[in-house]
Structure 1
């Protein structure tokens, strides 16, 4: 998404930055891991395909992605590649069905009166897991989506085996909507309302949007 191509979001322990070509090699290495492919329901890509995918993330207006930096590592080294630990994504107003739903129509307002975003978070570096980085990163992304992109409803589709992400989104006050044994997924939803925005703002201890300097 071009809207976030020139900014970064600085939190307490993480920094969210745009996905650049210089990051592709490390990202591709992550996504060569069968465990990560399974947890993220992704297909393996060649390095050339990964560069093409990076371009779509930058240019497509319905996709918003940030890479996640360990803030402490980055401030010590000034090396984005070393500090990279994962990514977080929003897919805006996609034609999607809630798994297990009987709806015949995609869960989307065809007149775009309601902005719906599917949210994802991945902490790829094993040593960075279980330290709260994922929760902070997705909180920053949800706040950005709500306050800057006008998202009115968030959804997330999480695999049956991904217990960690299921617990995380429950803590984010997402509610389970349906299950699909075919896709082995659980669909969670969070409507953006006044009470939840207040809760979100209280949860985000630091949030600064700054220019991203290449």
Structure 2
């Protein structure tokens, strides 16, 4: 999505940066993992296909992607984004019947970065971006039955189950944007959005 091409979002634990060509080789290496392919419902791609995806996602107005960086590594490595990469977070505006709804998706790919609150903070920051910048009024998530950690995270964030698909082996969840949610996000992610020139 072009709207986030110059946007960097700083949190307490993570930094979100736009998905650029320089990130592709490390992202591609993550997606060789059978575990990550299963958890994200993705297909294995060749490196050239991954580069093509990055380019197409950059201009697709229905896909908003940020790479999640470990803020501590980012700051101590003099802003080395590749060394700091731990995952990605996405908003997919796929609901043609509701342009103010987006599916949110998080992946913490680096195993030693899991369990540190990076995923939770990245999702909260992405939701704030979606509300403030994209004017979203609803978030959805589709999570595989086996991905119990993600299911637990989204439920803790207030998402409620709306359906289950035995065919796709996934649970669909939804969260409406309320004033309470807006205020809560404002408190948790205050002054995190920084736009570069």
Return the offset for 1:6. 1.1
Match of 1:154 in 2: 139
> 1:72-103, CA deviations, whole angstroms, 9 ceiling, x for partnerless residues?
101111211000000000001x14xxxxxxxx
Match of 1:168 in 2: 153
Question: What TM-score, normalized by structure 1, do the two folds share?
Answer: 0.88
Return the offset for 1:203. 2.8
Q: Does 1:185 align with 2:162?
A: no
Match of 1:87 in 2: 88
Match of 1:76 in 2: 76
- State the secondary structure of the residue aligned to 2:175: strand
Gaps of 5+ in 2: none
Task: Report if aligned partners of 2:161, 2:171 keep a CA contact under 8 Å in 1.
Answer: yes
Task: Give the alignment of 1:20-31 within 5 angstroms.
Answer: 20-31=20-31
Q: Whose radius of gyration is greater, 1 or 2?
A: 1
Aligned-residue Cα RMSD (Å) equals: 1.2
Task: Report if aligned partners of 2:7, 2:193 keep a CA contact under 8 Å in 1.
Answer: no
> 1:123-177, CA deviations, whole angstroms, 9 ceiling, x for partnerless residues?
0000000000110011000000011100111000000000000010011111010
Give the counterpart of 1:202 among 163, 187, 192: 187
Return the offset for 1:23. 0.6
Task: Report if aligned partners of 1:12, 1:206 keep a CA contact under 8 Å in 2.
Answer: no
Task: Report if aligned partners of 2:19, 2:67 keep a CA contact under 8 Å in 1.
Answer: yes
- State the secondary structure of the residue aligned to 1:54: helix
Q: Does 1:122 align with 2:123?
A: no
Runs of 4+ in 1 over 3 A off after TM superposition: none
Question: What TM-score, normalized by structure 2, do the two folds share?
Answer: 0.96
Give the counterpart of 2:128 among 143, 155, 163: 143
Q: Does 1:49 align with 2:49?
A: yes
Gaps of 5+ in 1: 96-107
Q: Distance in 2 between matches of 1:141 and 1:35?
A: 24
- State the secondary structure of the residue aligned to 1:66: strand
- State the secondary structure of the residue aligned to 1:82: helix
Q: Distance in 1 between matches of 2:191 and 2:155?
A: 22
- State the secondary structure of the residue aligned to 1:131: coil
Return the offset for 1:196. 1.6
